[in-house]
Structure 1
Amino acid sequence: MVNSEKREYGSIGEREIFMGHECIAINGADHGVTVTASFLSKGKYATRDIQCHFLVGTDGTGRSVRKSLGISMRGEKDLQKLVSVHFLSQELGQYLINGRPGMLFFIFNKDAIGVLIAHDLKQGKFVLQVPFYPPQHKLEDFSSEMCKRLMFKLAGLELKDVNVMDIKPWVMHLEVAEKFLSCNNRIILAGDAAHRFSPAGGFRTQSVCTFIMFLFCQLKTCNCYLSKNWYYLVMSWILLRIKFLRFLFAWESWGRGEKTN
């Protein structure tokens, strides 16, 4: 999607990945989009301009593309507060591989409630999410030792090799961007930049990946970005996404016992 061109820091061609680059400015025009990126070169920050036919913003909810366009998010905030505990335990990973292999575990028992996310069973990389209710709870209450005790209760066994790497708060929102297109439909928001909702059950991951794959397949097919049918193609994609999001948001609200229009 990027036009080849010569710059001070080397040529820029198609199908290239630039690591360590941050988008700091976007300028749209009828013929394309210019993205200014900042990066570290020889110990100093430098900038580079990248000419694009289209820009797809997939940099998350708090990043620069959507905010630089002045597009806000609408919906419900603070649906649920949780504490995310990133930890390592090869013992737990091996236990799950042998007995209950999986990626997402919803655990409810008389002693504890939590969601265990297995990022890598072989290496024992996990994230544990537990309910958090301020002001009754404080983040400081969740010490490494307390989190270890929670893990033991949830796993049902005393793990010997637990290494707590990080403990931080996490908030669940149900929001969608005011619009997904900007600058003559040449800038497109996708993923968390366009919407964020509960990841429970993998719906969030699956929907985001599906939409982004669909978009890039359409961009690739028959050089559609040069076709007069491009606008209708993108709009059909956007309408499909909006229809899906409305259904999903209504479904989640119904699950919480709320009425939706």
Structure 2
Amino acid sequence: MTKSLSDQAETMETVETPVLVVGSGPAGLLLAFQLARYGVRCMLVERNLDTTKWPKMDITNCRSMELFNRLGISEAFREQGVAQHYSSDVLFSTGLSEGGELVAKWSLPSPDVWKERIRQQNDGTMPREPYQRCSQAIFEAWLKKRILAEPLIDTRYGHKFESFKEGKDFVEAEITDVEKNEKYTVRSRFLVGCDGAGSRVRRNLGVELVGGPAPIAMYLVHFKSRDLSRLQKQGQFWHIFFTSGAAIIAQDEVETWTIHIPIPLDVDWKQLDPRQEVYKALGGSLAPFPIEVGEILVCSAWRPAISVAEKYSSPSLKVFLAGDSAHQNIPTGGYGMNTAVGDSFDIGWKLAAIINGWGGDQLLSSYELERKPVAIRNIERSGVHHRVHQTYVEWTMGAGPGVVTANADAGAALRERIRQHVLRNDGENQDHGIELGYRYSNSNIILKEKAQDAESDFDYRNYVPSPVPGARAPHVFLADCKTSIFDIFGPQFTLVDFSIDGTWAASFEKSASRLNIPLKCANLPRESQAKKVWGEATHS
């Protein structure tokens, strides 16, 4: 006799875990890793059998590197990425073919230069960590190995999330083992959808996206080439943006490159010859520029999108969205993955606090209040940076064929106009205020000082240090010139007391102990520079 659907559901294997994480992109991997660090078990399911082959993100910004440092993985991560001595210069060019010209350059220092600058400028305005270039394909493969070694993480690749339903005190998710074609149920206290732009978790939650794709398409070719003399004929680079609208990214400064080429929306990208498209892209506004191409790694077409989820959680606060399932950015500025890192850290410590028994009633509802405004601001800023590139491409196309590369006055004038434009609008990788200076001004768990306008001094370009509630604590090196104030922070909450006897912090320590809240007190009576920086920041 054939079993009814209800009988089949009852006989499915049920696995229990405190937290189910769906999706093993950067958001899911980091969330699972963070939960393990807090002693919380979780299951991580990913429909694909392995990590991504696509070179999505390629810059981990200063704030994300600070968060990686808290997890103890920043130095090991740097070993996976581009070597520390390479700059991240961005070039603007009419093309590499004969007659092509370097129009402008954004000079972005190497991590080594950044580290020295951070040491010299110990005034609270600098990050603890420089940024790091590393392809998402390398990052995910590296972090997966660490995840698999974590006994508190039940990692299941090739397992597809189908749907979920909520009970009074649990969430039940239906999962399919793709290889065996078998379904089973995962019962968890919480579920977090880190499953990307097409998130099944978000769709099951019934949450809509506000926004959508831009009316343009790009053809991506990820390839190997050691033809450095031709590729770098206008200088070493991280990116080259061509006046034609194409761009090339140096992924490892050795042999791995990614090219993005604008194509009409109705073009079947599978019919394109990737090598020929590489040559056309490198030619910019001129004839194709052939190079020696070794292996074509992957090709695809994609559309830039700007969108944010209407809600970040279910009404019951049992199901949450993080990363691309909650927001999508145009890649300019590198805010997409870095916003996801912040999401994972925010929801991660809060879930751990609830599961470990010391989180308050309002804690989980603060997640959306804190992270959604950050995503919206980052999304808008990525659009601003994207418009910088659209503008000079439109000028080039509007001037007519051959004008931007011509020796005549019109060509020289157009190139100078482009040069001035990109030098004047160079915030794409230099807007450190947006990376470090966001504040959780709308949070329901943060006490605000009277008449405090937490965002009044926000500057997209420059980070304004402030230790007011909801802001990132300013970084400063202590008197030994080696130890960062961040290095003395505990794994959860830290109370810094600059008084002589430390009695002020001690009173809080007793209350935290009574409430089982993990608090570390750091008494720094002789740290005059740190006290000065934090004091001035408080009143800035």
TM tier relative to shorter chain: 0.7 to 0.9
Distance change (3 Å), C-alpha of 1:76 and 1:148: closer
2:305 maps to 173
Aligned in 2, Cα 1:40/1:174: closer, same or farther, shift over 3 Å?
closer
Aligned match of 2:279: 149
Aligned residue runs from structure 1 range 1-261, under 5 A: 2-3=17-18, 14-40=152-178, 44-92=180-228, 100=236, 102=238, 105-109=239-243, 112-122=244-254, 124-134=255-265, 139=269, 142-153=272-283, 158-182=290-314, 184-221=316-353, 223-224=354-355, 226=357, 229-230=360-361, 232-252=362-382, 256=387
Q: Which structure 1 segments of 5+ residues have no match?
A: 5-12
Relative to structure 1, is the Cα distance of residues 87 and 139 closer, same or farther in structure 2, using a 3 angstrom cutoff?
same
* C-alpha contact (below 8 Å) 2:217/2:304 kept by paired residues: yes
Contact 2:216-2:265 within 8 A present in 1 as well: no
Whether the 8 Å CA contact 1:2–1:14 is kept in 2: the answer is no
Paired residue secondary structure (1:100)? coil
Larger radius of gyration: 2
Which range moved further: 81-90 or 248-257? 248-257
Structure having greater relative contact order (Cα 8 Å, sep ≥ 6): 1
Q: What is the rounded CA distance, in whole Å, between the counterparts of 2:174 and 2:204 in structure 1? A: 12
In structure 2, what residue type is equivalent to 1:205?
Answer: M
Report the CA distance between 1:253 and its aligned residue: 5.2
Q: CA deviation at 1:106?
A: 3.8
State the distance in 1 between where 2:311 and 2:159 align.
26
Q: Distance in 2 between matches of 1:144 and 1:236?
A: 47
Structure 2 equivalent of residue 8 of structure 1: none
Count of residue pairs brought into register by the alignment = 236
Question: Which residue identity does 1:236 align to in structure 2?
Answer: S
Per the normalisation by structure 2, the TM-score is: 0.39
What residue number does 1:7 align with?
A: none
Unaligned 5+ residue runs, structure 2?
1-15, 19-40, 42-150, 389-540
* Amino acid in structure 2 at the alignment position of 1:39: D
Distance 2:382 2:178 in 1: 43
User: Matches of 1:251 and 1:34 in 2, distance apart?
Assistant: 38
**Pairwise CA RMSD of aligned residues?**
3.2
Measure how far apart 1:67 and its partner are: 1.2
Secondary structure at 2:246 match in 1:
strand
**What's the TM-score once normalised by structure 1's chain length?**
0.75
